[in-house]
Every structure is written in structure tokens, then in C-alpha cells.
Amino acid sequence: VTRPRDGDLVAGLRRALDDAERRLEQEQAARQRAEAELRQVRTLETVGRLAAGVAHEINTPLQFAINSAEFLAESVSELLARAPDAGPDDAWLRENCASASEMLIEGLSRVAAIVRAMKDFTRTERATHEILDVNRIVESTLVVSAHEYRHVADVEVVLGAVPPVLGHPGELGQVLVNLIVNASHAIAGAPSGSRGRIAVRTAVDGDRVTISVSDTGGGIPEAIRDKVFDAFFTTKEVGRGTGQGLALSRAIVMDHHGGTLEFESTVGHGTTFVIKLPAAAAGTVTRAS
């Protein structure tokens, strides 16, 4: 004889079992995701270390290549000035020697700027904070992230005469890269589809140094404004974003640097993210420019 209650009991147990199974599946998926992310972080760390080594190795020969190029350029122009002019062929050579020297030095200097930025970026000593020139970090960041924004936006940089801050250059660089990549994505994804503008500014605000990154992208809709700093919150398709950029950035700015990271956004017009960092105590350092 089955009492009516037994059916309820069985159904209830089955539901509980289904629930447990679903939770297990979700947990497994979450674990797999975490493991994949961990692998990615490790790969990035390895790549970072390799890049640091390569940058370091390139730097020395590059420095003497630049010195030699400068010496050659000067010597050639001096020799040409001394030698008598022997006709039209000579004029052509003289002119092209001068412009080739200029291009050689210009090209090498650009490589040197990239190598310097890579060195700034891949510094791995994490423990200690050092006295930093925020403007230099901004410049390095723009060099290493150029491929992210070049195709979608023009960048305007306004660097104020800011005091130094105490911090970790690699971490702050990472925050700026996140903001610049987000700005580029916002511009690339905006309905207008036209080339946009990213403005990076540094300024003094009382006893704090501010770094702002503004974009002319589509803005952040009201409905998700309180979620953008959540870990794993993303509106981007798989492979484009993992939703960790802002969560990580805020942790770096607040927890490691005693600063704040906030934003203002107008849908259809754009977004400005503002980092505020406490200035290093006055009197302990003078700004190196």
C-alpha cells in the first residue's frame, strides 16, 4: 500500500538529488575555469620573465649601437663638410647621408624607448614600494599598449607637474593598461563605429596625484555600474575579456597603494576612470624630471 505522502517524499528526494548534482556541476565548471585562469597567469608570468630578460639583453648592445650611430653621423657630416664638392653625384650622396643618419638614430631611439618601457613593465620585485614618477609610468604604458589603441583611437596625453608617489611600477602600469584596453574596446564597440579619442591626464589634487583615462566610447549603462568592479563581471564575448581587469585594478590601487579608482560615465558619450594616489610625503624626495 502506498500512502500519498510517499510520492511526495520520492519527488522531494529526487529534487534534492538533482539540486546537488547541479551544484556539483557548477562547482566543477568553476574549478575548471579557475585552473585555466591559473595556467594563463603562469604562462603570462613566464612570458613576462622572458621579456624582462630579453629587454635587459637588448639594452646594452642597443646603447652602444646608438652611441656609434651618433658618432658616425657626426663624423660623416664633418668629413663631408671638409671634402671639396665634386659635382651632382656628390650632392646626392651628401643629402642622403644626412637623412639616412637621422633615420638610423631615430629608429634606434624608438627601439630604445620600447625596450625601456618593457624593462619598466616587467620589473618583478614585488615586495618593496619605491618612489615613482607617475608620468614616466604613463609614457611607458602608452608605448607597450600602442597596438591595443592605435587602430581605434588617437591618444592625447597631458602630463601635469605631479609629485612622486610611493608604489610598484609594474602593478600601476598593469592598471593603466587595463584602463586603456577597456577604453579601446569601448571605442571599438561603440555604435558610431568611428575612430575615437583616449585622453590620459595626470594632475595634482590636494595631497594626491590623479591619473585619468577618458574615452569616447559608448559609456557604461546605468544597470551595470555597480557591477563593473566585480571579479568575473564582463560584457565581452569569450576570449575578449574575462572580467578581471577592473577587479584586479581596484585591488592594486586600493590595497597596495592606498588610493582610489572610480569612474564617471555618460551613455553615448564616453567614460572617464580616475586613479587617485597619495603623494609621497613632501620633503623626503625631490622630483627627478
Ligand X SMILES: Nc1ncnc2c1ncn2[C@@H]1O[C@H](COP(=O)(O)OP(=O)(O)OP(=O)(O)O)[C@@H](O)[C@H]1O
Q: List interacting residues with Mg ion (CB under 5 A).
A: 182, 245
CA separation for the pair 184, 148 (Å, rounded):
7
Sole window of 26-34, 43-51, 119-127, 182-190 interacting with ligand X (rule: CB under 6 A): 182-190
Provide the strand spans (E) within the chain.
130-132, 153-159, 165-167, 196-205, 208-215, 260-266, 270-278
Taking the least distance from each CB to Mg ion, the nearer of 164 and 245 is 245
220 is a site residue for ligand X (CB under 6 A) = yes
Tell which residue, 134, 136, 92, 95, has the closest CA to residue 113: 136
Per the listing, cell 555597480 goes with: 226
Residue 157 pairs with which residues in a beta bridge?
A: 200
Closest approach of Cβ 146 to ligand X, in Å? Answer: 18
Interaction partner, residue 244 (ligand X, Mg ion, none; CB < 5-8 Å by kind) = ligand X
- Max Cα-Cα span within the chain: 122
Interaction partner, residue 216 (ligand X, Mg ion, none; CB < 5-8 Å by kind) = none
Q: 97 burial class (0-12, 13-18, 19+ CB within 10 angstroms)?
A: middle
Interaction partner, residue 271 (ligand X, Mg ion, none; CB < 5-8 Å by kind) = ligand X
Q: Which residue is nearest to ligand X (CB)?
A: 245
Q: How many CA atoms lie within 13 A of 97 on its CB side?
A: 17
* Alpha-carbon distances of 125 from 15, 50, 130, 168, 171, rounded to whole Å: 52, 15, 10, 9, 11
Closest approach of Cβ 74 to ligand X, in Å? Answer: 47
174 is a site residue for ligand X (CB under 6 A) = no
169 is a site residue for ligand X (CB under 6 A) = no
Taking the least distance from each CB to ligand X, the nearer of 130 and 264 is 264
215 is a site residue for ligand X (CB under 6 A) = yes
Q: Which residue is nearest to Mg ion (CB)?
A: 245
Closest approach of Cβ 83 to ligand X, in Å? Answer: 59
Fill in the per-residue mask, 234 to 273: x = in contact with ligand X (CB under 6 A), - = not in contact.
xxx----xxxxxxx-----------------------x--
Interaction partner, residue 234 (Mg ion, ligand X, none; CB < 5-8 Å by kind) = ligand X
User: DSSP string covering 205-241, please?
Assistant: ETTEEEEEEEE-S----GGGTTTTTSTT---SPTTT-
